[in-house]
Every structure is written in C-alpha cells, then in structure tokens.
Structure 1
C-alpha cells in the first residue's frame, strides 16, 4: 500500500464503490497505458499490476471475460498463457473517447451550430437517438430538436447510420454568427446542458486530486508504483467526467468554469508523474515477446507535450 495519504484515500474511495467498476478501470488502463505500448499484455501481469488498487484476481478475470464478450478485447493463447488486446472496434471506441482526454486545447468556435430534428422519427427511437447524440455534445433545445455548437459531422452521421435512423433524421448546419453568445443563448445553454450539475462534478474532482498534487510536488523521490496508481486513478476519474462534458465553447460557459481548473490540475499531475509511472509499467507488464515495446511519438504529445 502507498505511504501517500491522499493516494491511499483515492484507492479506498475506488474500492468502496458499489459495485466496484473494474471493467471501466481496465478500459482506462488499456487506453492510457497499454495501447501506447502496442496494446497487448499477459493476463497474469495485468492481475499483478491492478492488485494494489484492490481488484482481486477473480474480479479481473470476470471483467476481462465480460469485456471480451462485449467486443472490447480479444484473446490470444501462447502455451498456457492468455494475452489480451483491444479489438479493432474497441480501439476505435478508445480513440474517440481518449482523444478528448489528452487534447491540449479545443479549436476556436465561429458561432455555427449543428441542429438535429427528430420530428420524423418514431417515438420509440427518439429517446435512443437523443441519448447517443447527447454523448457527442448535443443538448435538447426541445423534445425533438437537438443542437451542438461543436461536433464532428462524420461521427454524427456514423452514429445515426448505426442506429438505422440516418434517413429519418434532419440535420442542419447554421452559418457563423458575429455575436457568439447572447444573454438568451447562455440561459438556454444552462437549461439544455445542465451546466450546474457538471460544474459540481468538476469541483469534486478538484477537491479529490488537489491534495494529491500538493503531496506529489513535495516528494524528493517519487516512487514508480505510486505514480502508476495515481496516474491510473487520475485518468479514470477525468475520463468519466469528460464523458459527461459536451465540450462547449468558452463563449457559452461561465467565466469561473470549474472545467478549466480541473483540466489544468489533471495536466499538471500527469506531466509530473507520467515518466515514473512508465518505469513501473515496464517492470510489471509482459507481452508474448517479453518486455513492453517503447511508446510511440503520439504518447509524448499528450496534454500539449510531455517531457
């Protein structure tokens, strides 16, 4: 167990979740740490790596089985050992989700919007489409009109195609606006995207990880195992937050938006501990060929650049 009190508290908090979200944490680990090293590891080394977080072998095996069944992971047998890697579908899901985690900054917004009209959809499909598009940053202007100030049109089209509603959904793109955010528009944003609730979650993240940041900065010799545990829990909690965050432009957000401070804190901690965490990963994880491959150049572009 770690000697850092704030880290110990974060581990205890994770263990006290009911139920323990082992599958979600494993996806975080693959996205943050395993995929940059080639994406494949021996199950036994994965079990040993996660044991200090309080996930026992039985729960890891159950979670790996579930993730394989759901199409996230695929297994390869070499002798008596099993090696797991992300599937092609799992990798695409990971890239879509984690791209937002490590991006240095959002592109400037020109005031244009994408609107989705659900008026021609059957009633039973509207709820499903709304939920899927809300994950991509859309907010409900009315029960049948969704709006997004910054979206990937290709992703939206692919989502509607997967749901078999592309021909029944009407998409509009508005032109750029000179006045990006009027008083009425900001009030509409607060209603459609539930900004207050998201701000509260960001505030909780800051309260959880600021004590860890303060302790880590004071350490003369950071321990690789502690850095791995801290990095994994940091990205796990931040990733869950970003799944809720529509990534609205600054012009539509309050001046004291907690999301900015949370991102700065996450970036600062990650930059401080990532190298030591890599040491622990290289010691702990095995592939069928032995040690982990070196990370690629894209890894060092995370959060605007890692040393």
Structure 2
C-alpha cells in the first residue's frame, strides 16, 4: 500500500471525524508504522501533500498538526459517496458523448483521469461515452482544462447496440473478475484478534475496494452481463467495514489520543448519507 494512498484512507475513515479533520504528525506516524511506514517517510509524504494543497498545518509548540484543506474535503466527500453508493438501476437509454479535439497533451491526460472518475468510457481515442445525462459535469471539466470538445446527448435506439457500446467502452469481464476475487477474499472472514489487527484489516479492505470507483462506471443493470459480481462485492465490503469499525476506531484513539466522532457510520440501507465537516 503506497503511503500517500494510506494517508487518504486514514483521513477518509477516521481523521476527518477528529476536530476539524486533523491529526498530530506524531500520532499519524504511530498509525503509519502499523503498515511498515517509517516516521521519516511519513514526514516526507505529509510535507509533499501539504505542498500540493491537500493539507494545512498548525503548530502548538513543537507539535505539528495536519489539517485537511478545502480541496481535500471535497476529494474525500466525492470519494466516500462513490465508495458507499452503489446504484445499477433503471436507464432511459440516453448516452452522453464527448468528442475531443487536439489540444495540450498534459491537459488531455488530466481530463482522461477525471473522465474515468466521472464514469466515462473511451470508445475511440477521441470519443468518450457515459450512460445518462452528464452534460453539465462533462462541459465543466472540458472548460476547466481548456480542452476543445463537442458534448451532446444521443440514443442508439437498440438495447443490443447499447450493450455493445458498454462492452467496448469498458473491460467488463476483467472488472467482473476483480469483483469476484474481492468477494472470495473477504466474504466470511473470521474476526480479528486485537484492535490494531482490526485497524490494519479495515484499512486494507477499504484501500482495496476504493479502487473500484476509478474503473467501474456503475452502469445501468440493462447494460451489465449476467451474474455481475459488483452488488455482492459491495455487500461484502459494507458488512466487513461495519464489523471492524468499533475495534479499528479504538485502535486509532489509542494510538493518537484523539476522539473519533460517531459520524463515520457511512451507510443506511446500503446508501451513502451526508458527509460534511460536521458529519
């Protein structure tokens, strides 16, 4: 697990619910050592994340505390909704299409990452597609990065063609296999022995599952292959994440001296609830 990814997982599940989204560097280092990250590495990672605008610092004597920036709050809010919300419901048959034009390469690379996060698939090098009406988000993204494009809504008028578009836009077989592997690895896991074991297990679980929103466009059920493993994987994740919560939170509080507020119960009936600074 990369230290940078580990930091965001820890803030997403725990430290965002401490004070104003904060943790002393000393306490964070103690937690990171459970994952074989040395304090010197933690200091370097946090310094770089601060330079990139993800964190601010507060000093109290010799104690340095890292606090989430507004940019980081937005990232965690978006990510948490994508992780805990799982919807593959009805669909109107409408697609959002983006045809990009030549432009700055670095801007196109950044747009490619963001389009994937927004649930778009690439049909051809300059053609992106997503089910439903995502015009506003697509146009905002293109304008923000100065990438020339035509964005519009379209229908194929044929479910067979729609399924063909989905199969070409995303590698659904590979994604389904990853979901299946996740279920096999985590379904029915035995309880862990200690609070710290629970913390390590829960962080690794979340870090593994949080990668799915970057590759899964959450397609409507009509476009998915039979026996799609994602719903079961989501159930397993939510169940296991909840089972480990109390002991993992106890470990965080023991290691840092912080109090983690109860707002991190992240789901009701399988859906996301509001996640603001107040929880």
State the shift of 1:83 in Å.
Answer: 0.5
1:228-287 deviation digits (Å, cap 9, x = unpaired): 21111111111122212112112111121122221111111012121222222222224x
For the pair 1:294 / 2:265, whether they are aligned, the reply is no
- CA pair 25-293 structure 1, distance change in 2 beyond 3 A: closer
1:36 match: 17
State the shift of 1:224 in Å.
Answer: 2.2
Correspondent of 2:32 among 26, 37, 50: 50
Correspondent of 2:174 among 197, 217, 225: 197
- CA pair 151-106 structure 1, distance change in 2 beyond 3 A: farther
Q: Report SS of the residue matched to 1:111.
A: coil
CA distance in 2, matches of 1:127, 1:49: 34
2:276 match: none
For the pair 1:135 / 2:121, whether they are aligned, the reply is no
CA distance in 2, matches of 1:62, 1:231: 25
Contact 1:36 1:299 in 2 (8 A): no
Alignment size in residue pairs: 271
Q: Report SS of the residue matched to 2:227.
A: coil
2:277 match: none
CA distance in 1, matches of 2:88, 2:140: 22
State the shift of 1:294 in Å.
Answer: 2.0
Unpaired runs of 5+ residues, structure 1, are 1-13, 15-20
State the shift of 1:197 in Å.
Answer: 2.3
- CA pair 275-303 structure 1, distance change in 2 beyond 3 A: farther
Contact 2:15 2:260 in 1 (8 A): no
Q: Please report the TM-score for the alignment, with normalisation by the length of structure 1.
A: 0.78
1:104-148 deviation digits (Å, cap 9, x = unpaired): 545643222211121x44374655534431231111233332110
For the pair 1:223 / 2:203, whether they are aligned, the reply is no
1:96 match: 78
- CA pair 263-298 structure 1, distance change in 2 beyond 3 A: closer
Contact 1:150 1:249 in 2 (8 A): no
Regions of 4+ moved over 6 Å: none
Q: Which has a greater percent of helix?
A: 1
CA distance in 2, matches of 1:42, 1:203: 38
State the shift of 1:155 in Å.
Answer: 3.4
For the pair 1:238 / 2:238, whether they are aligned, the reply is no
2:159 match: 182
Correspondent of 2:45 among 50, 59, 63: 63
Q: Report SS of the residue matched to 1:203.
A: helix
State the shift of 1:193 in Å.
Answer: 0.9
RMSD: 2.7
Contact 1:136 1:151 in 2 (8 A): no
Unpaired runs of 5+ residues, structure 2, are 274-279
For the pair 1:76 / 2:58, whether they are aligned, the reply is yes
- CA pair 151-30 structure 1, distance change in 2 beyond 3 A: farther
